[in-house]
Amino acid sequence: MHIKAENLTKSFGGTVILEQLTMEVKSGEHVALVGRNGCGKTTLLSLLARVESPDEGRIIQAKDSKIGYLHQIPSYPDHLVKDVLLEAFCDLLAIERRMKELELQMATDVSERILSQYGELQETFMELGGYEMESKLSSISNGLGITHFFQQKFDALSGGEKTKVMLGQILLKNPDILLLDEPTNHLDLSAIEWLEQHIQQFPGTVVLVSHDRQFMNRVVGKVIELEDGQCWVSHGNYDAFLVNREAKLEQQFSEYKEQQKKIKKIKEAIRRLRQWANEASPPNPDLFRKAKSMEKMLARIEVVKKPKTEKAMRLRLEASDRSGKEVVRIEQLTHRFSLEQPPIFDGISMSVYWQNRLAIVGNNGTGKSTLLKMILNQLVPSEGRIHIGSNVTIGYLAQQFETLNDELRLIDAFREEIAMTEPDARHVLAQFLFYGHDVFKKVKDLSGGEKMRLRLAQLMQQNINLLILDEPTNHLDIESREVLEDTLENFEGTMIAVSHDRYFLQKLFTKIAWIDQKKMTVHDGDFEFAKRKQVGV
């Protein structure tokens, strides 16, 4: 079982996205597609799935292979979530219905023809795994955390919830080739880890696009980078890709520099030959011919392209005057959204001290973002109190950037909170890779990464010593995540964050508050240490 793209070319609106691209994924390989935003990763997935057609080239795949690809959320009017999931077993359910019809007939007519029909259907039902339907449904629904949606109307779910249900349906279909675009979006920690294990054990072929570096490290054995419409293959996981790409760039720079030296020498030799030919009396035609011959040789040289290097932000998020030793104290905090509902957490207590790097983790619905809102004084707890220490100034990097006015131009949104002239604002924004007309884009037209850079630009002009982050890496590409991590790594104040990004958690945080079953356990150590401890709690 394999899938191959051969000489693919695809354009949108006159812009070439993929050009004469060829790549092959062999049977059973698990592959990640990576590259900058806009390089064509999602386009390539849709071409492999035959949802889009190439302008040139073709897709070849093994005969009779089934593809599982989540690209658009279909509408299921009046369907319950369980019914949507059971669509994966439509052939089996049709056999089961026919078997039940025959069972009713056999109550009055036990003919050999009916018994034979029933026996054949039962054998097919068994071979296709009909008797494992419920256990498969239960296993995948529990793993993705969607069992409690079963009796809800599918069309009433949020976008993220629908995506999880459709992912569940695709996994239940057990296709030969899985094409996954950002499969960990909308999943909490336990669901991500379950999906990892599921894909690790999946015997078929997997091609995925993801910004989750830890996920790629765990599930892929090959990484294909898309750049300038072409692809480059690295064997191993994502960390191996980073090492291999660095080595490739060094080699390309070396080859580029060597060739440039050679070209410079040839040009200098041509210049001297022409000079000598002109200075000779009479002018020397042999020297002219040699110069002409060398010019032709120079024109035939296949020029090595200079490797592209990304413009990177080298930023420093300065902490203002230090706060008191105790930055935040949480005392016996209990919260419920209504008197009829049980509390989301019950009697939790914790202290955060100056320069602590604390991450709050737990599954969806455990109250992590609610706790952040209480620290920010946006929400009052049902019971208990939160005390903010002396001289604490808070900067908040939200998940959705609701504070930004969508209709404002980027430069006006930046200056809304910062007293600064327009030329000075443009100078600051250039440090965050906003050049020229970029600063006049409307906020609503910015990508997630651009909004994060804008918010960081604002925070860096403010005097803060406590930084609060709510899922800051959501919707960011890998380059933007790395910029954010580098910036936060050098922040000398106190940091509190909620995140499901394990790579981000492991890299930056040294204290983990784990919320589970309405209680909080604080672990002094990194994320992997906390996870090991939490399992034994």
pLDDT digits (tens, 9 = 90+) for 484-511: 888 888 888 999 999 999 999 999 999 9
Encoding tokens for residue 261? Answer: 């030296």
Instruction: Indicate whether 343 and 492 sit together in one domain.
Output: yes
The rounded mean pLDDT for the chain is: 89
Instruction: Write down the pLDDT at residue 484.
Output: 82
Whether residue 310 is predicted with pLDDT greater than 70 in this model: the reply is no
Range of weakest confidence among 79-88, 137-146, 157-166: 157-166
pLDDT (average), residues 306-318: 65
CA distance readout (Å), 498 to 103, 217, 360, 468, 492: 55, 22, 5, 8, 19
Q: In the 8-state DSSP scheme, what is residue 409?
A: B
Whether residue 1 is predicted with pLDDT greater than 80 in this model: the reply is no
Instruction: Indicate whether 401 and 474 sit together in one domain.
Output: yes
pLDDT (average), residues 263-270: 90
Instruction: Write down the pLDDT at residue 307.
Output: 77
Instruction: Write down the pLDDT at residue 197.
Output: 93
pLDDT (average), residues 53-57: 93
Whether residue 228 is predicted with pLDDT greater than 80 in this model: the reply is yes
Distance CA 197, CA 115 (A): 42
Instruction: Indicate whether 169 and 182 sit together in one domain.
Output: no
Distance CA 32, CA 225 (A): 8
Instruction: Write down the pLDDT at residue 97.
Output: 92
How confident is the model over 385-440, as pLDDT tens digits?
999 999 999 988 876 666 667 889 999 999 987 888 999 999 888 888 888 888 99
Question: C-alpha angle 277/283/288, rounded to 5°?
Answer: 45
Distance CA 510, CA 487 (A): 17
How confident is the model over 27-51, as pLDDT tens digits?
999 999 998 877 889 899 999 999 9
Instruction: Indicate whether 139 and 190 sit together in one domain.
Output: no
The alpha helices in 402-517, defined as continuous H runs, are 410-416, 422-431, 448-459, 478-489, 502-508
Cα atoms found within 13 Å of the Cα of residue 431, Cβ hemisphere only = 14
Instruction: Write down the pLDDT at residue 22.
Output: 93
Instruction: Indicate whether 5 and 151 sit together in one domain.
Output: no
pLDDT above 90 as % of the chain: 51
Distance CA 47, CA 41 (A): 10
Instruction: Write down the pLDDT at residue 176.
Output: 93
Helix then strand then coil, in percent of the chain rounded to 5, is: 45, 20, 35
- Provide the residue range defining the domain that includes 23: 1-66+175-236
Q: How confident is the model at residue 311 (pLDDT cuts 50, 70, 90)?
A: low
Residue labelled with tokens 């996205």: 17
In a domain, 245, yes or no: no
Instruction: Indicate whether 347 and 490 sit together in one domain.
Output: yes
pTM for the complete prediction? 0.80
Confirm if 394 and 464 have CB atoms less than 8 A apart: yes
Instruction: Indicate whether 271 and 395 sit together in one domain.
Output: no
CATH code of the domain covering residue 395: 3.40.50.300
Instruction: Indicate whether 346 and 201 sit together in one domain.
Output: no
In a domain, 306, yes or no: no
Whether residue 315 is predicted with pLDDT greater than 70 in this model: the reply is no
pLDDT (average), residues 288-311: 82
Instruction: Write down the pLDDT at residue 341.
Output: 86
In a domain, 191, yes or no: yes
Q: How far is CA 72 from the centre of its chain?
A: 18
Instruction: Indicate whether 167 and 183 sit together in one domain.
Output: no
In a domain, 219, yes or no: yes
CA distance readout (Å), 174 to 99, 178, 446: 23, 9, 37
Q: How confident is the model at residue 312 (pLDDT cuts 50, 70, 90)?
A: low
Instruction: Write down the pLDDT at residue 86.
Output: 93
In a domain, 242, yes or no: no
3-state SS class at 363: coil
Distance CA 245, CA 303 (A): 21
In a domain, 90, yes or no: yes
End-to-end alpha-carbon separation of the chain, Å? 44
In a domain, 421, yes or no: yes
Distance CA 454, CA 133 (A): 49
In a domain, 478, yes or no: yes
pLDDT above 70 as % of the chain: 96
* Cβ neighbour number for residue 282 with a 10 Å cutoff: 5
Range of weakest confidence among 7-11, 287-291, 349-353, 504-508: 287-291
3-state SS class at 524: strand
Instruction: Indicate whether 343 and 413 sit together in one domain.
Output: yes
Instruction: Indicate whether 87 and 41 sit together in one domain.
Output: no
Structural domain total, the chain: 4
Instruction: Indicate whether 340 and 473 sit together in one domain.
Output: yes
How confident is the model over 172-219, as pLDDT tens digits?
999 999 999 989 888 888 889 999 999 999 999 999 999 999 999 999
